[in-house]
Amino acid sequence: MNTYEGVIVGGGLAGSAAAITLAQAGRSVVLLEKESQAHHKVCGEFLSQEALVYLRALGVEVATLGAVPINAVRLAGRFGVSEVPLPFASRALTRRKLDEELLQLAERAGATVLRGRRVLSFDRADEGWSVRLADGATVVANTVFLATGKHDLRERPRPAGRQGDLIAFKMYWRLAPEQAAALEGHVELNLYRNGYAGMLPVEDGAVNLCGLVKRAEYLRMGARWEHLLTAMQRDCSHLKQRLQGATPLLAKPLAISAIPYGFVRERSDGAWVLGDQAAVIPSFTGDGMSIALHSGRLAAGMYLQGATAENFQQQLHRELSQQVSLATVVSRAIVSEPRRTLVESAVRVWPGLLGSVARRTRIRPDAMLG
Ligand SMILES: Cc1cc2nc3c(=O)[nH]c(=O)nc-3n(C[C@H](O)[C@H](O)[C@H](O)COP(=O)(O)OP(=O)(O)OC[C@H]3O[C@@H](n4cnc5c(N)ncnc54)[C@H](O)[C@@H]3O)c2cc1C
């Protein structure tokens, strides 16, 4: 039995941001992460301006880790390609590198970081919480921060959200030299039947292709990655061009299903709930990581000021619910057949629409923490 002031369940961006902030304030915290070493995650790896601000505040300069600059966004679909410059500085970096850096930072800040420790459940115990691990151990702490991201604890499933019928996948590629050159500095959003996929360059010359498809559509294809890849390229000639002569860098794609897009937690049962466990914004916005970092910093800051978990959860809900709602409406349109055409046509007529949606789905500047 160990006793800490705070226990953080999950060592992604949200959990690490909270751990670093609490440890820097001298609090005794333990972070429990189920994976024993650096690993890939299903994520488009686009770091928005807000994410970069938070990372810098935590002491991470992503450029030194090899992050590549992203200056413009392209939308590719049946009617061709539209391009707009991004209104802010952005970067791309693999989660394998970024999450590892943050975990090491948490340790250097004074947090106890325990890797390869999967949490099964947690319950109230006396004045605090008792956290049960898969290896039979128990950790006791005054406060619990839940940051397991895309994975729910069995006894704490999130509701389905407003768009819960998608499967997500990620694959790294090495593109043919002329395609890699054409992609440089860009994030490309490729639209295809019942889904979309973002493509961008990451460090070391690799390219991330990360996307979504409706579960029913994937099952119709026999639930085979090769079939999905063929269908995506048949429907989006731009993507087909990019992948000509490309080499996959993973034996098979990473995948995850039942993502509760559109979900925003309103109340707390006493635990401080962070990141994707608190709010799931559709992936095309490239905002999930900034929300995770924001929630971790906000929770730690409010905790240090003596606020309750309920105060925190309500504030986070106020700060995020509009953005998540708007993004979910757009996301549903992009992946539904007749409305996808409308979205594409609207962007062709008014390319500024992309920037407008991007601005209205971000964390508001007045909510950003210094
Ligand atoms: C298809 C897709 C594309 C995306 N693209 C982007 C993008 O380009 N830009 C962007 O900003 N966001 C993107 N996102 C969103 C982003 O990935 C998430 O919002 C972000 O990772 C949430 O961070 P987190 O810390 O809450 O959770 P995670 O990053 O999921 O981290 C949770 C951590 O908890 C650990 N864990 C889980 N269960 C347990 C357990 N039982 N015990 C102990 N540890 C546990 C996990 O191993 C993991 O390390 C995308 C998401 C998807 C699905």
* Cα of 147 from ligand 1 centre, angstroms: 9
Q: Residue 143 has what pLDDT?
A: 97
Is 231 inside a domain boundary? no
Range(s) of the domain holding residue 106: 2-160+259-367
Structure-block tokens of residue 211:
């996307």
- The H or E element that residue 198 is part of is strand 195-201
In a domain, 194, yes or no: no
Q: What is the pTM of this model?
A: 0.97
Ligand 1 atom 6: residue of nearest CA = 44
* Residue whose token pair is 């890699």: 180
Residue of 276, 284, 324 to mutate, ligand 1, most atoms within 8 A of C-beta: 276
**CATH classification at residue 51:** 3.50.50.60
Q: What is the per-residue pLDDT for 266?
A: 95
Residue 287, ligand 1, Cβ within 6 A: yes
pLDDT of residue 354: 79
Ligand 1 center to residue 276 CA distance, Å?
7
CA distance 20 to 51: 16
Alpha-carbon torsion, ordered 139, 140, 146, 150, to 10 deg: 20
How far, in Å, CA of 46 to CA of 310, rounded? 31
The answer, yes or no, to whether any atom of ligand 1 lies below 6 A from the CB of 276, is: yes
Nearest CA-CA partner of 232 in 267, 192, 205, 198: 192
Query: DSSP state, 104?
Result: H
Whether ligand 1 lies within 6 angstroms of the CB of 131 is answered as: no
The residues that bridge with 31 in the sheet, in sequence order, are: 8, 113
Nearest to 286 by CA among 354, 336, 347: 354
Q: Is residue 146 part of a domain?
A: yes
Asked whether residue 17 is assigned to any structural domain, the reply reads yes
Residue whose CB lies within 8 A of the most ligand 1 atoms, among 95, 131, 148, for a mutation test: 148
Q: How far apart are CA 360 and CA 322, in angstroms?
A: 9
User: How many domains in the chain?
Assistant: 1
Distance from the alpha carbon of residue 292 to the mean position of ligand 1, in angstroms: 8
Q: Is 161 left (phi over 0), alpha (psi -120 to 50) or beta?
A: left
Q: Kindly state whether residue 274 falls inside one of the protein's structural domains.
A: yes
- Inter-axis angle of helices 337-349 and 309-334, nearest 10: 90
Q: How confident is the model at residue 2, as a pLDDT?
A: 61
157: Cα separation from own chain's centroid: 18
Residue 215 lies in a domain: no
Of 299, 309, 172, 194, residue with least CA distance to 243: 172
Measuring from atom 35 of ligand 1, which residue has the nearest CA?
10
For 225-258, the pLDDT digits (tens) are 999 999 999 999 999 999 999 999 999 999 999 8
Alpha helix stretches (DSSP H) within the chain? 13-24, 49-58, 95-109, 177-183, 215-220, 225-235, 237-243, 288-304, 309-334, 337-349, 352-360
Q: What pLDDT score was predicted for residue 370?
A: 60
Closest ligand 1 atom number to CA of residue 48: 11
Which atom of ligand 1 is found nearest the CA of 14? 25
Q: Is 275 in the pocket of ligand 1 (CB under 6 A)?
A: yes
Provide the pLDDT for residue 246: 98
For residue 215, what pLDDT is reported? 95
Ranges under pLDDT 50 in the chain: none
d(CA 116, CA 152): 17
Rounded distance between C-alpha atoms, residue 123 and residue 330, angstroms: 38
Pocket probe for ligand 1: among 37, 43, 295, the residue whose CB has the most ligand atoms within 8 Å is 43
The answer to whether residue 246 is domain-embedded is no
In a domain, 210, yes or no: no
Nearest atom, ligand 1, residue 256 CA? 53
Q: Is the CB of 44 within 6 Å of ligand 1?
A: yes
Task: Please state at what angle helix 337-349 crosses helix 352-360, rounded to 10 degrees.
Answer: 110
Number of other CB atoms surrounding residue 109 within 10 Å: 20
The one-letter code for the residue type at 214 is K
